[in-house]
Amino acid sequence: MRAAERPDGTVVTETLVNARPLLRASALHFAAWLLLAAVFLVVDTLTAKSVLVGAAIAILPSALMAWVVFRFRKSVAPRDFTRAIYRGELGKFLLTIVLFALLFAEGGAIRVGVLFSVFLVAIMVQWALAARHLLQD
């Protein structure tokens, strides 16, 4: 992000982060979990379902936030960029809650330990992927 001043004196922020690589990394990350779930499908369908659902609950809200925050590739006011960050975080938080609520309201069989383990690992991998992308020159 870089600040600039327009000729009329207003300060704008140039968003230098492109959402496409972040979204591509999220898609590849989900594909890796999908492959792992396919491996578990041979052994145990309930574990495979838990792996897939846990990864989806972690990755989908993160991808939504990346799209909401970094979809602008033009100059925007710092207030608008900050607002986009808050909206992205709120959307990510609410979508995560809704997805967990839908999962547990459904009442279907799931391996809770596997679900939360995959969720936590997938969140950490998402953070690492985002940090790697954001710290690149």
Q: What is the pLDDT of residues 95-123, one digit of tens each?
A: 999 999 999 998 788 999 999 999 999 99
Instruction: State pLDDT tens for residues 47-102.
Output: 999 999 999 999 999 888 888 877 766 667 778 778 888 988 999 999 999 999 99
Q: Where are the domains of the chain?
A: 13-135
Given a contact cutoff of 8 angstroms between Cβ atoms, the answer to whether 4 and 11 are in contact is yes
Q: Are residues 61 and 95 in contact, defined by beta-carbon separation less than 8 angstroms? A: yes
Averaged pLDDT, 34-52: 94
H/E stretch holding 131: helix 112-135
Place of tokens 């997938």: 122
Dihedral of alpha carbons 77, 79, 81, 84, sign: negative
pLDDT at 35 over 80: yes
Reported as a pLDDT band with limits 50, 70 and 90, residue 6 is low
- Provide the b/e sequence for 65-94 (b: ≥16 CB within 10 Å): bbbbbbebeebbeeeebeebeeebeebbee
